[in-house]
Structure 1
Amino acid sequence: MTPQVTDPPVTEHGGGVWSIKVPIPDNPLGFTLVHLLDTDAGPVLVDTGWDDPASWDTLVAGLAACGVAVADVHGVVITHHHPDHHGLSGQVRDASGAWIAMHDADASVVRRTRSNPPDRWYAYLVDKLTAAGAPADHLAPLLRARDEGRPRKLPGLAPALPDRSITPGELLALPGRRLRAVWTPGHTPGHVCLHLEEDHPAGLRGNGRLFSGDHLLPGISPHIGLYEDPDSETVTDPLGDYLDSLERVARLGPAEILPAHQRAFTDAPARVHELLAHHEERLTGLLALLAEPLTPWQIAARMEWNRPWDEIPYGSRTIAVSEAEAHVRRLVKLGRAEAVPGSDPVAFVAV
């Protein structure tokens, strides 16, 4: 497989690795970096991008710039189930017969998404946000959608079911390459990074290269919210999972990180240190807020975001509340905060 051009949106990273900027419509992230990996069995994709006609056309054109037709794709390795990563997987498989591999925890999310009808998801969101103290005007659109049986307009309504499981710690079955799965839960329960255990083609010092998905990004912190499962009452700790996973990646010491957004970068330990410090600062600020009892909605409204709370769009407020809850759960697990007995909606206070 010989690349024909390396003009944007295609970048050659050397050693049989390329990235393609696949656009995400109407999203400030802009694009997903879909990585193409040459193997002795044929080209393999790491993630596929958003399920949108323009995104598909860009992916096809990017592959062609690398001398690859979609029909040539041998396999698809998914870092996590979110639609900007997994969205086009089914279309790639239909066009090529490629297998799709995903960690079992995220495969369970995919099966759950496909099996639950839209009104179940609306009802679940209403219950969650009510318990978090969301006001009536925020709940009203969800209640209308639930009661009217309106189809869910969110992307990823019927994501592709994977064909293979990614087993953490094991090498993937990719002839001619050494690509090892590293389980990095936090952003999703089954997020994986993929460690290419081969010398860096430019001779950079370090331990190979890491396809980091959304786990480790050069300039932003990924969303860490609650894992969504309407059928489970398990109290998870996504932020704790994420912080532990960050330290695991830092110990790998890769020479270069190839993330799914923004750009390739080096010095994983330094970036991990920045992210650990960022979340510790957020936890410290949250403790100060919890000098008085607050619901998760009130907490989210008082936390610092990239814009004032009044300017945050409707859907993003729901995501912000989930992130606030993940941070509160971490404080509760650490014994630094607790739920106020009898509060409804539940409020939390520092201890």
Structure 2
Amino acid sequence: MATTFDHGGGIRSVQVPIPDNPLGYTLVYVVDTDRGPVLVDTGWDDPASWSVLAEGLAGCGTSVEEIHGVVITHHHPDHHGLSGKVRDASGAWVAMHAADTAIVRRTRETQPGRWFAYMTDKLTAAGAPEEHIAPLRDAAPRTTLPGFSPALPDRELVPGELLDLPGRRLRAIWTPGHTPGHVCLHLEEEHPSQLPGHGRLFSGDHLLPEITPHIGLYEDPDDATVTDPLGDYLDSLERIGRLGAAEVLPAHQYAFTDGAARVRELLTHHEERLADLRSLLVEPLTPWQLAERMEWNRPWDQIPYGSRNIAVSEAEAHLRRLVKLGRAEAVAGSEPVAYVAV
């Protein structure tokens, strides 16, 4: 049974399940326009998720076939997974920021063996133990991977521009951090319940009511640019905080008000976390060793294999921020590279 909610003013949401994931579901938003309904995100590519989306759209008084367009906040499979199926069924356009479209294109073109080799090299450089790296080497000969054929978008979300949605004022706001091309969408219309503030914000994973989104490294096997995704995220958060939206419509959990207060909480959280990590770096630590010592939602020995890779990526993102701020530095000659507080 699909769970739907009417947010008023021609906006509804459908809870589309994410298989075997503690997040539970993605909130797919249905936005009425003068040319037909437009979706914000689509949910995970899974038969059960597809059935719930179709059932939910029927509950909202429409159908997959009637969808006019799809706006994707970012390329992750719990947001973009079903975009291709929606487009095939309806002829809808699919729009995404160019930076995430580039990731989709690269994902479609990358052979799994190339990806496994890259991950092996990356984890080796981070100081991961051999028993963690060995399964990646064993998996390299496989020919297919789930999520390696995401739909290629056919429209670009241009930061600062209004989307071509007749009868609506929906502006794209580039908010890199969670992904390089993450976009929030500002509905510049009076709130239907007259809540104080400036319109409503579809926040994707950028701003969630109770969760801190993952900030890892932007993965590109062919690009050696030293990025600072945590710095990008914090800058993006401050810009979103200044919007003064009356209500935030996130991709997970539930809608909430006072986005500016949530932004302040997240900025404080990351500042405290950076200070905690710097205190751990009184001794030289590799990114893997730092990840082992960081506070997660469960002890390190209970964190699943794939989640450890994500945790190491997050540790590296924080290390890059500390280095950029001049609070830590790489230890000359260390192999794998260790970092220490300065």
* Range of TM-score over shorter length: over 0.9
Out of 145, 151, 165, the residue aligned to residue 143 of structure 2 is 151
Contact 2:64–2:89 under 8 Å retained in 1: yes
The amino acid across from 1:250 in the alignment is: G
Out of 228, 240, 245, the residue aligned to residue 237 of structure 1 is 228
Out of 249, 259, 263, the residue aligned to residue 254 of structure 2 is 263
Answering whether residue 12 of structure 2 is matched by residue 18 of structure 1, we say: yes
The amino acid across from 1:54 in the alignment is: A
Out of 283, 290, 306, the residue aligned to residue 299 of structure 1 is 290
The amino acid across from 2:163 in the alignment is: L
CA shift, 1:151, in A, is 3.0
Q: Distance in 2 between matches of 1:112 and 1:279?
A: 30
Answering whether residue 47 of structure 2 is matched by residue 56 of structure 1, we say: no
Residue of structure 2 equivalent to 1:4: none
Out of 157, 170, 193, the residue aligned to residue 166 of structure 1 is 157
Please state whether the residue corresponding to 1:285 is helix, strand or coil: helix
CA shift, 1:156, in A, is 1.5
| TM-score, normalization by structure 2 | 0.99
Deviations 1:249-274 (A, max 9, x none): 00001000000000000001100000
Out of 117, 128, 146, the residue aligned to residue 122 of structure 2 is 128
Residue of structure 2 equivalent to 1:3: none
Residue of structure 2 equivalent to 1:228: 219
Map 1:165-244; keep pairs closer than 5 Å.
165-244=156-235
CA shift, 1:152, in A, is 4.2
Alignment size in residue pairs: 342
Residue of structure 1 equivalent to 2:238: 247
Q: Distance in 2 between matches of 1:255 and 1:321?
A: 36
CA shift, 1:179, in A, is 0.1
| TM-score, normalization by structure 1 | 0.97
The answer for unaligned runs of 5 or more in structure 2 is: none
Q: Distance in 2 between matches of 1:58 and 1:151?
A: 30
CA shift, 1:189, in A, is 0.1
The amino acid across from 1:258 in the alignment is: L
CA shift, 1:145, in A, is 1.0
Answering whether residue 299 of structure 2 is matched by residue 308 of structure 1, we say: yes
Answering whether residue 83 of structure 2 is matched by residue 89 of structure 1, we say: yes
CA shift, 1:26, in A, is 0.1
Deviations 1:21-43 (A, max 9, x none): 00000000000000000000110
The amino acid across from 2:132 in the alignment is: H
Residue of structure 1 equivalent to 2:95: 101
Q: Distance in 1 between matches of 2:297 and 2:189?
A: 38
Contact 2:33–2:166 under 8 Å retained in 1: yes
Answering whether residue 21 of structure 2 is matched by residue 27 of structure 1, we say: yes
Deviations 1:109-128 (A, max 9, x none): 00010001000000000000
Q: Distance in 2 between matches of 1:123 and 1:185?
A: 26
Contact 2:2–2:55 under 8 Å retained in 1: no
Please state whether the residue corresponding to 2:242 is helix, strand or coil: helix
Q: Distance in 2 between matches of 1:78 and 1:50?
A: 12
Deviations 1:189-225 (A, max 9, x none): 0000000000000000000000000000000100000
Identity %: 75
Please state whether the residue corresponding to 1:349 is helix, strand or coil: strand
Q: Distance in 1 between matches of 2:150 and 2:224?
A: 24
Q: Distance in 1 between matches of 2:120 and 2:2?
A: 43
Q: Distance in 2 between matches of 1:202 and 1:192?
A: 25
The answer for unaligned runs of 5 or more in structure 1 is: 1-6
Answering whether residue 336 of structure 2 is matched by residue 345 of structure 1, we say: yes
Contact 2:100–2:182 under 8 Å retained in 1: yes
Q: RMSD of the alignment, in Å?
A: 0.8
Q: Distance in 1 between matches of 2:269 and 2:122?
A: 27
- Where do 4+ consecutive residues of structure 1 move more than 4 Å? none
Q: Distance in 1 between matches of 2:131 and 2:14?
A: 41
The amino acid across from 2:246 in the alignment is: A
Deviations 1:138-169 (A, max 9, x none): 001001111xx11343x311000000000000
